[in-house]
Chains A and B, each alone.
Chain A
Amino acid sequence: MGGPDKAEKVRASSSREAPDLVAFESVETQVVSPAVMGNFRSRRNVRVRRRLRMAGGVVIAIGLWELVSVTQLVSSTALSSVSATAAAIGSNAGVLFSAVGQTLEAWAVGLAIATVAGVIMGALVGRSRIADALTETLVRMMRPLPSLALIPIAILVAGLGLKMTAGLVAFTSFWPIFINTRYGVAQVERLLLETATTLGLRGLALIRSVVLPAAAPLIASGFQVAVGLALVVTVSVELVGGTGGIGSYVLAAQQGNAVANMYAGIVVGGFLGWVLNTGFAGLFRRLLPWANQREGSE
């Protein structure tokens, strides 16, 4: 019959883009096997055991770090001990706190711009074949541009400071959001759209009430990639441009030979990344409970 065949074809043609995107599952760190899903108790045990192992990994890494520094495998002028780093975090808590604040500010502003622009443009391009063709080559050219290579341009345009950092962050994190939105919007089931049409939905209402929610799991996984990317770019730009925040803190510590402080900044930056990633992963699990549900039982 004509219907399903055609739907297959549409899906096949849009899956050309598939390598570009990041599946929602891959962002999830926790994969529960279907066999375990049924039994809540053992599922819970599996989760607890997994958490313990994850914590164990961190403990092992800290142990190795301490071992390398105690045995002077790496000289103490290049690597501070765990205890010295911890002490540096404690004594510089105030400065680090405000550095984290500055970093988060640029991160949040850049990511917010990228999200709004990425979702709007992704939805537009995903819904329109003309827009898709017009932007295809540009996307392929601009996406691989390393954002750090754009720092000079950004400085010329915006001067040193928050605007420049946020701009570069926005540029970099735009791509995963845009690409996932474009794909997510393009691959919404035809049947879902037809159903919505028969219910009287069209135009903007159709996009808002059906297309975007249907694409939400893919948009969310694009956003999660952008979260990490945005932090990397924020800290890198701060490090190169000396515009404040964690990056500048690390640079200043290195230039002042304050090795423990340098590592304190790095550890805090890493922790910040972990908090943001875990936080958004948890948020999306709550907001999009159907994302990992393929179809109903029976």
Chain B
Amino acid sequence: MTDPILELRHVGVTLTGRDGSVNEVSQDVSLELAPREFVSIVGPSGAGKTTLLRVAAGLRRPTAGEVRFGGKPLTEVQAGISVVFQEYNKSLFPWLSIFKNVAMGARRLPVAERSSRVRGALDMVGLQGFESRYPWELSGGMQQRAALARALVSDPKVLMLDEPFASVDALTRGLLEDVVGDLWERSSFAALLVTHDVGEAVYLSDRVLVLSTRPSRVLAEVKIDLPRPRSQGSTRQLQRFVELEAQVLGLVHQAGRSAAGERPAT
């Protein structure tokens, strides 16, 4: 097996509030992401999925364990990792046109290449013709496409997606899932998706990791052996898809239930 591009080794996160309260969000989470692999993290709400993603992206330091990216310890944000957040309306820059927003993602590229790369990224997500528009002039789905273009313009090794489609309607969500799926098939990045939508996780991923409630650990790993390329119309009809979705859903519910009672043995 190839070396993982991203690795979380026994990562623990404990938040300390200003009032001194201590909140153990994650406890001993380990995961590996192979190059070009698509992995999703699901879990009951409050499992600290978003916090874990922030740690994996280098936005937050873990209180225990370590994150490794490309075989080296990751201690801060680094080129090669792109992040798309749920709240596109707060992560796009409203004073910049769509073109310039995406160009912000191309800052690390040679100047001569930037324009053509930005144009290429906008084409990939289907936003050609909207270069000079402003984010607030576009629908939520289109804004998230712009955020995706900005994340991918730098040709990252890892794309992290934090509940990227939670703020759009169901139809748009399906379309965006396919945009991400297609881009992933055509490009060379590995993807780490945090979502509470089990169907979405199963639909897009190679593997789905189920987290427990706080303090979270990886409860289970489910391999998704669905054929690729996938499409909303056919893949979700497959008997295997329905089985896998039910299996993961069952694990998430089990994780949620155990929150109230005793912890399951690992």
CB nearest to A296 among chain B residues: B136
A77 part of interface (Cβ distance < 8 Å)? no
> Could you say which residues of chain B place their CB within 8 Å of the CB of A1?
45-46, 48-51
Residues A296 and B59 in contact in the complex (CB < 8 Å), given A195-B85, A201-B107: no
A210 contacts the other chain (CB 8 A) = yes
B205 close to chain A: CB less than 8 A: no
Q: Is B143 an interface residue (CB 8 A)?
A: yes
Distance in angstroms between the alpha carbons of A216 and B77 in the assembled complex: 26
Looking at the complex, which of B90-98, B181-189, B247-255 is the stretch in contact with chain A? B90-98
In the complex formed, the residue of A with least CB distance to B18 is A9
Chain A residues positioned under 8 Å from B49 (CB to CB): 1
B93 touches A289 (CB 8 A): no
A200 within 8 A of B: yes
The interface of chain B, by Cβ under 8 A from chain A, is 15, 23, 25, 45-46, 48-51, 54, 57, 59, 77, 79, 81-83, 85, 87, 89-91, 93-95, 104-105, 107-108, 134-141, 143, 150, 168-169, 172
A-B pairs with lowest CB-CB distance, top 10 = A290-B94, A298-B140, A293-B136, A298-B139, A195-B91, A295-B89, A191-B90, A213-B95, A198-B83, A189-B90
Question: Which B residues touch A75, using CB under 8 A?
Answer: none
A288 proximity list for chain B (CB < 8 A): 95
- B48, B95, B105, B150 pick with most chain A CB within 10 angstroms: B95
In the bound complex, residues from chain B placing their C-beta under 8 Å from that of A210 are 93
Q: Which chain A residues border B48 with CB–CB below 8 Å? A: 1-2
Q: How far is the CA of A209 from the CA of B168 in the complex (A)?
A: 28
Evaluate whether A296 and B140 lie within 8 angstroms (CB atoms) in the complex, with A191-B91, A200-B108 already known.
yes
Contact of B59 among A198, A290, A293 (CB under 8 A): A198
- 5 inter-chain pairs at a CB distance below 8 angstroms, sorted by A residue, are A1-B48, A1-B50, A191-B87, A191-B91, A199-B105
Question: When the two chains form their complex, are residues B93 and A192 in contact, meaning their CB atoms are under 8 A apart?
Answer: yes
Does A128 count as interface, using CB distance less than 8 angstroms? no
Contact A198 B139, beta carbon cutoff 8 Å: no
- Distance, CA A293 to CA B83, complexed state (A): 25
Q: Contact between A216 and B90 (Cβ–Cβ < 8 Å)? A: no
Query: Counting CB contacts under 8 A, is A194 at the interface?
Result: yes
Chain B nearest Cβ from A211, distance in angstroms: 11
Name the A residues within 8 Å of B81 (CB-CB): 198
Q: From residue A213, how far is it (CB to closest CB) to chain B in Å?
A: 5
A201 to B93, CA, bound (A): 13
- Pick the residue among A189, A200, A209, A298 that contacts B77 (CB under 8 A): A200
Task: Give the residues in chain B near A201, CB-CB below 8 Å.
Answer: 104, 107
Residues in B whose Cβ lies below 8 Å from that of A196: 104
For the complex, would chain B's binding face be called helix, strand, loop or mixed by DSSP majority?
Answer: mixed
Tell me the complex Cα distance, A209–B81, Å.
Answer: 21
Q: How large is the interface on A (under 10, 10 to 19, 20 to 34, 35 or more residues)?
A: 20 to 34
A26 within 8 A of partner (CB): no
Give residues in A with beta carbon < 8 Å to B.
1-3, 189, 191-192, 194-201, 209-210, 213-214, 216, 288-290, 293, 295-298
A189 to B89, CA, bound (A): 11
B179 to nearest A CB, angstroms?
16
Query: How far is A2 from B59 in the complex, measured between Cα atoms in Å?
Result: 14
Which of A3, A192, A209, A290 lies in contact with B136, CB distance below 8 A? A290
Nearest chain A CB to B6 CB, angstrom units: 14
**When the two chains form the complex, which single residue of A194, A213, A297 contacts B93, counting CB atoms closer than 8 Å?**
A213
Set of chain A residues within 8 Å of B137, measured between Cβ atoms: 296
Partner of B134, one of A191, A192, A290: A290
What B residues does A2 contact at CB under 8 A? 15, 23, 25, 48, 50-51
A192 cross-chain contacts in B, Cβ below 8 A? 90-91, 93
Within the assembled complex, what's the spacing in Å between the Cα atoms of A196 and B92? 9
B25, B136, B172: most-surrounded residue (chain A CB, <10 A):
B136
**How far, in angstroms, from A176 to B14 measured CA to CA in the complex?**
40
For B76, the closest partner residue in chain A by CB is: A197
